[in-house]
Amino acid sequence: MASEYILGISAFYHDSAACLLAGDRIVAAAQEERFTRAKGEARFPSQAISYCLASAGIDSSDLDAVVFYEKPLLKFERLFETYLDIAPRGLMSFSRAGPLWMKERLYVDREIRAGLGGYRGKLLYAEHHESHAASAYYPSPFDEAAILTIDGVGEWATATIGVGRGSTIEILEEMRFPDSLGLLYSAFTYHAGFKVNSGEYKLMGLAPFGKPRYVERIYSDLLKVNDDGSFTLDQRFFDYRGGLRMTTRAFDRLFDGPPRQPEGPITQREMDMARSIQTVCEEIVLRMARYAHRTTRLDKLCLAGGVALNAVANGRLLREGPFSEIWIQPASGDAGGALGAAYVAHHKYFGRQRSARNGRDAMQAALVGPEFSPDDIRSALDSAGARYEQIDESNVADQAAELIAEGKIIGWFEGRMEFGPRALGARSILADARSPEMQSRLNQKIKFREGFRPFAPSVLSERTAEYFELDVESPYMTLVAPIVASRRRGHDSTEGGLARVNELRSEIPAVTHLDYSARVQTVSREQNPMFHGLISSFADRTGCPLVVNTSFNVRGEPIVCTPSDALGCFARTAIDALVIGPFLLRRDMQTGSLDMKATSGAMGLD
């Protein structure tokens, strides 16, 4: 029998996405933001769906089922009960949310069928955390595993513990709204002046610059935490249930002042708040994981949900937790819910068996997005008036490696786009990690972002142990690990805070954070041969088996998707060269020739 085509969809809150399965094989998956160029796009993922269907050469009439990643009526029940519970305080928030619910969120069935051109087939719904759990377990390399999902909130659940065996998933326990680790972390994100649902990783990056001086205050005033990691939040300090703020005036008083104004100066208070909530977050994740281990008596763990993108917590869980192996869904946020929902339908609704994994995951290195032929790329280059040279495809990696070895910053656009928030060697900006100036160059001249923000290394998997205390694969950049002691460089400093950004801390300073850590991507020849070839060629030239890898975008923009997106980013930044398919553009060759009207995107701030 032919495999079913199942389309999974997430939409209407943030990070809308679509995923197409043929059987249990991922045909295509992409976030809508990559097409609309609106970061965190929440609208119905029309363009992502079109891409997924086109990848299989089908239309909506060929689909065996469409699955939405959560149950809107359950979510509305939670919102309505919450507003009633706190009325009249939530009236302003309800007056804003109500019309959205009346227009689209209560009528998801109608929106989906219309968005698919009048689709008349099966339309199914999974619960939010069921979708997260499915995205964590079904593509994982494990035949059975404990499952831990942690995020802000779905319908009612904010965290779940489950177990996956063969083709089935069972949710064993859940934490419920309003007690939420994701919302707690987002409250501190908001108070530190960063944008909720996109600035949490900034808070994580800021944490090493601070001291954990608020930890006891958090435990004594904000929450009561149990040994199993569950907790109760004191809602006097939070306003996310019905207000337009995440925190209240009581929170302001507890943490020495009101929220930092976005784009305002970052003070020691924000650094200390970041360090404190990061410390608490790690402890709660460890407690939850230990309880999951005791409950399931399994030695392998799968993780998903927005909190699973906290790579620092993941690194501690790997080093200190009870599990022998962990696997983290690379698209752990709401976008990955589209993938999980499709898997729920495949295994639960259709009752299909899970394919043997043989110790390998099913994510295809997360390279399941759009790709472009050399003819497509050439057409975009010519339309923009770009000056370029064509490289023999067998020499592309060597040419790129040579440029990086010369100290150049390059845009790297190759093959299928990544699914999830990380650039993994398909839509990346690459540079030499040995350069002491590279972090500030990248932050100031390329990314246009805060100077404290760290960069990640992509390292040959077979040489990881030479630089990092990491003895497992980390292909999706979901683990933070310490730099090995032999590569560190001591630096005595009397300065505090952000003044320490440019300290020389290791042989690879551009990817070494203040605490001698790095968010590591291991690159294998098998999973990503072109990117592995580039790093290998760089190692042949320099002896260093890793490069800086940051996403191909600027602050406030999604990662580039198309050749035109890449050209636009190249034209508006100080990137020295662009390697795009078999073509090379050098900045000094352009002499103002690039036609900005022919490129897409607009540099913005978040």
Contact 301, 161 (CB under 8 A): no
Name the residue among 582, 566, 558 with its Cα closest to residue 30: 558
Residue 75's H or E segment, with its range, is helix 72-86
Name the residue among 172, 187, 154 with its Cα closest to residue 281: 187
The three-state DSSP-derived secondary structure of 294-339 is HHHCCCEEEEECHHHHCHHHHHHHHHHCCCCEEEECCCCCHHHHHH
Length of the chain: 606
| Tokens representing residue 587 in the block | 């900045």
| Tokens representing residue 501 in the block | 């950004």
Name the residue among 206, 313, 309, 187 with its Cα closest to residue 252: 187
Contacts of 107 (CB under 8 A, 6+ apart): none
Distance between CA 347 and CA 350 in Å, rounded? 6
Residue 428's H or E segment, with its range, is strand 427-431
Tell me, yes or no, if 14 is annotated catalytic: yes
Distance between CA 474 and CA 514 in Å, rounded? 21
Q: What are phi and psi of 214, to 5 degrees?
A: -100, 5
Distance between CA 483 and CA 582 in Å, rounded? 35
The residues annotated with a catalytic role in the active site are 14
